[in-house]
A and B are shown apart, each in its own frame.
Chain A
């Protein structure tokens, strides 16, 4: 068809008049949509922003040209037309669109040339509409949506392959070989490989598979005993039994909870100006972990996080679940209320789209989506679904399953710090008031108490901060901030949940304490509208709540136009949205979760951008397999554990990372898109820390509860960081090794202060959703893994363990290899390591480490804003008064330190940090 159309136009060229209808059609179908997509935004669509004075939205504008005076087109002569020159990008001084990546396709450029050569006909709107509605010659398809801001957008055509994720989910039939009883995953996989003439890699050895499965499901290394048991188990069901055992481990939920928390951007603080603690966020973290461990059906998981409060208003766990809606960074300091509210809603809309639908929605906030069938109208309909959602800490009784350990000791610690701040603040206030009395006395005037002075003219009262030096001014601010920071942190021990409620807009000043108002106007209903250009100050057309119309899935049973609408009352908006997302027929959400699970197993999704199924995301490499998995997943009750079993029992999952014909494979499939071999991966930051703790024998495997405060690099812990008016309190670790050496998912996650150990190993910034961990190797990683106190402490603990568990040095080295690598050293390795340890012994005998004390009081400095001068104050670190440190180098002899050097090497080695 395409060729025919092109041919017709080419043949018609010599006679311009005869070409007219075809050229006009070409204009309607190809030229105008291209100009609309790539040029109108800056050239005509917005009269306030007609760059270069050039308006491309009318033929007159094109003929007139811009400020340069040169016409945009020369009808009949494409070669002489400025527009053609610009879009073909041959002239370095005239290249449009400005962004290289926005360049028009060759086909679009050819269409423009042909249209101009044919006289550049510009039919009237009615004709345009008629041409647009003709059946597609080129396979481009229109998508029915709630409608764009402009007709061009509404009527535009999409390449069918860009719409894959919007297509209804059908269950493809697995290729024939599956009927022979194999795993359908293998049938799909092999069919593709066979077609490419590539053989799959051999099955990996048992030890490799054990390590792969253990890390994959629990994020922890197998113990030597587990390894032995598995290696010795020759029964036909050994592999399946291993998978079942790992899935039944509570550590499974920790590992897969971590993946989910990456996507939803979990942190224990709110970020922004003050980085307020979200003192009960840990309850949501534990809820996620429990949900994975319980194999909660995914549709239920969606419901609870989006609308738990509406689903079961009396169930505290459901309030905890809506913590999902509180995960984004947010603050209201110094922001107009409307802007702060908009920031929250924009964040939630984008996050819900990205998390559950793999459809980032931020792109449609200011304009209809450039690539995907998501009109701005849908963005604001989605936005309206949350327009009654207000954020608050809500009372939610603790659950029997929640870990409430160390509440009392923690509360005492926080109270001590609060009192410390209060005492100092009170003393400074008294000093100020004393100065005020003096001021009045010196002038023979009667003293006026502070509260009554504020309205008096400046001359009749002491100047502000009278009697303070700039140091005292600064300290007063720090103590006042500290007082309420610690007061607020007492909420850690209260039965509260970071949650939401439905009600009128409210934003308490400063966002310090978010509580449901006592009284709310029952008549209040949100008024929602499309914000022009994304500006909250420019509401235009009103909208009602709704879902993404392009998904082709009605959100209710009502006939006609309301089928994509959500309830417009105060309650029920989110619940109905959740029903739509968790609908078995929803083409986006079903593919989304299956693809995510796949991506964590294989290092890459079947569609390589788990957060983006749109036209700009990567296309699925195995679309049939993805669809089959999604359909099967839904049909079998949305069970994620079942999906793991299905994936992990496939031959595909058990392939080696090495391929028999590696060089040829590198040429044929350099990106390993066909999965002819398994892709190795570096352990994630948390897995490295947890593995070091596990191997050294220090890991406390306790589940859940208040955030653990690990010992982080002391310089980073004490690094001053600005919050409003002050600097944030220093990081203080938990007082005992048991409390500190918890799994990394339980460690305190502060947006403004990352644990440098985890951060350098590519733990993502929690302000952005992370679909896939980066593992770029950078030199600071080597510095941290070799030199940090954390690495040193783990290596000493590991050495002490070896000394406990084996007597002679060779046996200790063998034990070290077994614990770290699950294998014995070969003769060469043993010899080399023996030499190394002995050499190190000599070094250590020559140098005795000096103890490094922990400070209990530290001086901290910042620039005070009243005076513009630096000042310092003392911060109290009471935890170090009764602190139980890990075993330090100065507590052990040279022999242990030398053995610890070996342990450090093992931790740093590639064999330890990569999983195959």
Chain B
């Protein structure tokens, strides 16, 4: 990494001597305090150094993707009886079972079953890296609450994102990039930026959205009619003003930190455009991620960016794929949605593996909840989609110390409820943290009168998910 001193010298004459001295003085002062984002040693032996967390917003049908339910096809369009105590969206009409429109088959040496619309993930060398967890249970059947729960550990939408906790616990390996990056395929998910906010943690740990078009980070660049040299000169003049000011307020420690951030921001301006410039990637790589195809281009680009970011030391990358909420026309919806993610995710796993990064990168893919095995008639026609279901879902993981080629847990015969290796979502959070070398019970922050943690009340490890 270029040191700040080198960087400053590299700018040559643009920097006046007094400002330069002042900056170094600030640097010395800043160094005396532990920087909030400085890399920290994991609390425990870490399997993974970074995490790529893919959220399939809307909640894919687990029985239509990674959790085959042949019984459902037998029951197709027969009336279902719902348990009045199960927390489900209230439906006044009769409900009917809906068989999955897709076929299933075993894949790879491990024989993991997945729906036949997955072509690339089904390739043996990819499938055998996956860990499919079918025992998880969420809590809310409402999209924003459930998304908040998945992404922050709390349904209330004010708590720090998983990525915020991870960067709080581990710091970042590259201070010229945000430690926690978020990308959305198109729209922000329901609940918006609350899904990646720093909550009560200091603002250093907030997720930064990396935008697909326009300025990758809001306000990253000065207006087009200002040059970088101009801005450098401005920062030097600003530093001089601030230096004089600081001399009058020697007790005020924050001043140096605020000045330091202007330099960091300046460095970010040069590093971020490099990251998003895919020119250095081979055509083969771009094709592998599906960048040449309309259906996979947007999501593929984000998967490729995720790999580049992790490679550069970013701790936590989150990608949102939208539109999985199939109350109707499940076959059409999931065919198209699966197509949009299948190739990019497979390419990501292969790419990480080829670069020797998969062992150290935890890849997670999950919706905010699973779906019901049944549905009511909608729009005057026989049911062809599914409702929201928090009692069963599927979470697919790869790398980062998860067992390769493993299916963990199970749901009942219709996929209505998890019945084996059943764990609440918080246990999954605890497990992810553990893979990253963090102990949920120790990764706490005092706020509002108590020590808070990602799992809210403490949780249990899911040992089956650790290789």
A residues within 8 Å of B by Cβ? 97-101, 271-273, 275, 329, 331, 333-337, 339, 360, 363, 371, 453-456, 458, 461, 463-465, 470, 537, 609, 611-612, 614, 616-617, 657-659, 662, 666, 677, 680, 682, 713, 715-716, 719-724, 727, 751-754, 756, 759, 762, 765, 767-768, 774-784, 786-789, 792, 828-829, 832-833, 836, 839-840, 843-844, 847-850, 861-870, 889, 897, 901, 904-906, 908-911, 913-914, 916
Contact A865 B381 (CB under 8 A): no
Beta-carbon contacts under 8 Å, B296-344 to A:
298, 322-329, 332-337, 340
- Residue from B187, B197, B215, B336 having most chain A Cβ neighbours under 10 A: B187
Cα distance A829–B244 in the bound complex, in angstroms: 9
Can you show 11 pairs from A to B with CB atoms below 8 A apart?
A333-B143, A456-B380, A662-B250, A752-B191, A767-B156, A787-B219, A787-B221, A840-B234, A847-B227, A868-B326, A906-B241
Chain A residues with CB below 8 A from B238, complex form: 905, 908-909
**Provided the pairs A464-B328, A716-B218, A836-B233 are in contact, do residues A868 and B255 lie with their beta carbons within 8 angstroms?**
no
Which of A783, A792, A843 has the largest count of B CB atoms less than 10 A from its CB? A783
Q: State whether B227 touches A843 (Cβ < 8 A).
A: yes
Q: How far is the CA of A753 from the CA of B144 in the complex (A)?
A: 14
Indicate if the CB atoms of B90 and A777 lie closer than 8 Å. Answer: no
Contact between B240 and A832, CB atoms less than 8 A apart: yes
Interface string of B126-150 (1 = CB under 8 A from A): 0000000000000011111100000
Closest 7 CB pairs of A and B: A863-B323, A868-B336, A768-B158, A868-B333, A720-B187, A454-B380, A616-B449
The answer for the CA separation of A554 and B261 in the assembled complex, in Å, is 54
Q: Give Cα A832 to B255, complex, Å.
A: 21
Q: A100-B442, A774-B203, A777-B254 are in contact. Are A787 and B220 (CB under 8 A)?
A: yes
Chain A CB within 8 A of B5 CB: no
Q: Which of B98-106, B354-362, B405-413, B450-458 contacts A (4 or more CB under 8 A)?
A: B450-458
Contact of A868 among B237, B334, B449 (CB under 8 A): B334
Do A98 and B448 touch across chains, with their CB atoms under 8 A apart? no
Q: How far is the CB of A781 from chain B (nearest CB, A)?
A: 7
Given A609-B449, A863-B185, CB of A783 within 8 Å of CB of B225 = no
Once the chains bind, are A272 and B218 in contact (CB under 8 Å)?
A: no
Q: Is the CB of B237 within 8 A of A336?
A: no
For residues 49 through 86 of chain B, which have their beta carbon under 8 Å from a beta carbon of chain A? 57-58, 85
For the A-B complex with A779-B264, A786-B265, A870-B298 known, give 13 more contacts whose Cβ atoms are closer than 8 Å.
Answer: A371-B450, A612-B448, A716-B218, A720-B188, A767-B156, A767-B158, A768-B158, A778-B206, A829-B241, A840-B233, A862-B187, A865-B324, A910-B246
B124: Cβ under 8 A from any A Cβ:
no
Residues B244 and A783 in contact, CB atoms below 8 Å apart: no
B193 at the interface (CB under 8 A from A): yes
- The total of Cβ contacts below 8 Å across the A-B interface reads 305
Q: Is the CB of A617 within 8 A of B335?
A: no
Does B234 contact A272, Cβ atoms closer than 8 Å? no
Chain B hits for A611, CB < 8 A? 448-449
* Nearest Cβ on chain A to B405's Cβ, whole angstroms: 28
Contacts of B442 in A (CB 8 A): 100
Rounded to whole Å, the gap between the CB of A893 and the closest CB of chain B is: 12
Tell whether, in the assembled complex, residue A904 and residue B382 are in contact, meaning their CB atoms are under 8 Å apart.
no
**Docked-complex contact A334 and B388, CB < 8 angstroms:** yes
- Which residues of the other chain, B, contact A765 by a CB distance below 8 angstroms? 157-158, 194, 197, 199
Chain A CB within 8 A of B268 CB: yes
| Chain B proximity of A533: nearest CB distance (Å) | 12
Bound CA–CA A911/B141 (angstroms) = 50
Q: How far does the Cβ of A289 sit from chain B's closest Cβ, in whole Å? A: 25
Residues of A within 8 A of B143 (CB): 273, 333-334, 722, 724
Q: Is the CB of A336 within 8 A of B225?
A: no
Are A762 and B203 in contact, CB atoms less than 8 angstroms apart? yes
Give the Cβ gap from A848 to chain B, nearest Cβ, in Å. Answer: 7
Q: How far is the CB of B39 from chain A (nearest CB, A)?
A: 17
CA distance A666 to B32 in the complex (A): 15
B333 to A867, Cβ gap below 8 A?
Answer: yes
- Asked if B174 is an interface residue, CB under 8 A from chain A, the answer is no
What residues on B are CB-neighbors of A776 within 8 Å? 36, 202-204
The residues of B that contact A786 with a CB separation of less than 8 Å are 219, 222, 231, 234, 262, 265
A759 to B206, CA, bound (A): 11
- Chain A contacts of B266 at CB under 8 A? 782
A335: chain B residues at CB < 8 Å are 89, 140-142, 145
A758: min CB distance to chain B, Å:
13
Cross-chain contact B265 with A866 (CB below 8 angstroms): no
A237 to chain B, nearest CB (A): 29
Determine the chain B residues whose CB is within 8 A of the CB of A784 once the complex forms.
Answer: 218-219
Please report the C-alpha to C-alpha distance between residue A912 and residue B395 in the assembled complex, in whole angstroms.
50
User: A687 → chain B, closest Cβ, in Å?
Assistant: 16
Tell me if B284 counts as interface (CB < 8 A to partner A).
Answer: no
Q: How far is the CA of A781 from the CA of B257 in the complex (A)?
A: 12
In the bound assembly, the distance between CA atoms of A774 and B381 in angstroms comes to 53
Whether A848 contacts B225 in the complex (CB less than 8 A), given A767-B194, A866-B329, comes out as yes
What is the CB-to-nearest-CB distance from B38 to chain A, in angstroms, rounded to a whole number? 14
The complex places the Cα of A723 from the Cα of B143 at a distance, in Å, of 10
Q: Which residue of A lies closest to B326 (CB)?
A: A865
Q: Given the interface contacts A786-B222, A864-B323, does A537 sit within 8 Å of B85 by beta carbon? A: yes
A659 to chain B: which residues have CB within 8 Å? 251
Instruction: Indicate if the CB atoms of B334 and A336 lie closer than 8 Å.
Output: no
Q: Does B259 reach chain A (CB closer than 8 Å)?
A: yes
A679 to chain B, nearest CB (A): 9
How many Å lie between the Cα of A783 and that of B223 in the bound state?
11
> Known contacts A612-B449, A862-B323, A905-B234: does B218 contact A271 (CB below 8 Å)?
no
Q: With A454-B380, A609-B449 known to touch, is A780 a contact of B225 (CB < 8 Å)?
A: no
Cα distance A273–B145 in the bound complex, in angstroms: 8
Instruction: Choose among B226, B229, B240 the residue with the greatest number of A CB atoms under 10 Å from its CB.
Output: B226
Would you call B186 and A788 a contact (CB within 8 A)? no
Are A910 and B262 also in contact (CB < 8 A) when A339-B87, A780-B208 are? no
**In the complex, which residues 240-254 of chain B have their Cβ closer than 8 Å to any Cβ of chain A?**
240-242, 244-246, 249-252, 254
Q: By the criterion CB–CB under 8 Å, are B190 and A722 in contact?
A: yes
B192 CB-CB contact with A under 8 Å = yes
Interchain CB contact (< 8 A) of A336 among B89, B222, B249, B258: B89
Contact A273 B190 (CB under 8 A): yes
- The verdict on B444 contacting chain A, using a C-beta distance below 8 Å, is yes
Partner of B441, one of A99, A723, A867, A897: A99
Contact among A275, A865, A866 for B58, CB-based, below 8 A: A865
A844 to B233, CA, bound (A): 13
Given contacts A273-B143, A863-B323, A865-B323, contact A840 B328 (CB under 8 A): no
Q: Would A782 and B265 be within 8 Å (CB), given that A337-B90, A866-B329 are in contact?
A: yes
